[in-house]
Amino acid sequence: GQQVMQIPQYQHVQEGEDFTTYCNSSTTLSNIQWYKQRPGGHPVFLIQLVKSGEVKKQKRLTFQFGEAKKNSSLHITATQTTDVGTYFCAGTGNTGKLIFGQGTTLQVKP
Amino acid sequence: EPEVTQTPSHQVTQMGQEVILRCVPISNHLYFYWYRQILGQKVEFLVSFYNNEISEKSEIFDDQFSVERPDGSNFTLKIRSTKLEDSAMYFCATRSNTEAFFGQGTRLTVV
């Protein structure tokens, strides 16, 4: 079945450093979504990418969707302690169901 | 902001018992989902529900599980004969066309 792989599993950075998480799908995706889950919380939607090669920015966050629509990345510039949490990508295939990657847990040292 | 409501927030049950987890979706949403998250692990798809029927289910969603929308508003997940390994956070999510909105989750502990 459809699989979405995400790396790295964990990342510890010093405040102010950059952070990137990568997402790869075994199949071509209709779209990809990114969610953030704070410790003890529930996933909260960040953004959706639909077009091949699409790049979107939200302040210090940059999201990219690959040309083949099988991979994506989230890059955070100059991390802050408020960025702590687990970032999940979620791919939507032809059936419409969201399949989540394993998530990348970000720890930021002040 | 619209929100998905889940009850209870925490359920402790004895192994072998049945539990029902409840979700009140956002009113104009059409797609409903149940996901499971074992502590520290990824969010796992269980089942999707559209037009009052299951549209897709994962390998995890076997005969032990069932979903229904009994009164047109609540969306329930029933787990029969619970096992220790069913202990997890269960999230309900609903969406219209784009993003999924997640409820706060029900933490199920099977003892």
A89 neighbors A100 (Cβ within 8 angstroms): yes
Q: What is the pLDDT of residues A43-66, one digit of tens each?
A: 999 999 999 999 999 999 999 999
Q: State the nearest Cα–Cα gap between B1 and chain A, in angstroms.
A: 13
pLDDT reported for residue B30: 85
pLDDT bin (cut points 50, 70, 90) of residue A18 is very high
Say how many CB pairs under 8 Å bridge A and B: 51
Query: Chain-wide mean pLDDT for chain A?
Result: 94
CA distance A35 to chain B (A): 9
pLDDT at position A1 over 80:
no
Nearest to A98 among B33, B50, B105 (CB): B33
Is B100 near chain A, with CB under 8 Å? yes
Task: Name which of A98, A102, A105, A107 to mutate to probe chain B: the one with the most chain B Cβ atoms within 10 A of its Cβ.
Answer: A98
| Contact across the interface for A96 and B103, Cβ inside 8 Å | no
Q: Which of A45, A88, A95 sits opposite B43 (nearest CB)?
A: A88
Residue B91 is predicted with a pLDDT of 97
B55 contacts in chain A (CB < 8 Å): 95-97
DSSP string of chain A, one letter each residue: ---EEEE-SEEEEETT--EEEEEEESS--SEEEEEEE-TTS--EEEEEE-STT-EEEETTEEEEE-TTSSEEEEEESS--GGG-EEEEEEEE-TT--EEE---EEEEEE-
Question: Is pLDDT of A95 > 80?
Answer: no
- Alpha carbons B46 and A95: distance in angstroms, whole number: 14
Cα dihedral: A78, A42, B48, B43 (round 10): 70
Q: Among all residues of chain A, which has the CA nearest to that of B100?
A: A45
SS3 B86: helix
Which contacts qualify for B58-63: CB closer than 8 Å, 24 or more apart?
A: B60/B36
B chain contacts of residue A101, beta-carbon cutoff 8 Å: 42
- pLDDT at residue B73, rounded to an integer: 81
Q: B43–A43: do the CB atoms touch at under 8 Å?
A: yes
Profile chain B (111 residues) by mean pLDDT over runs of 10 residues: 92 97 91 92 90 89 92 90 97 88 96 97
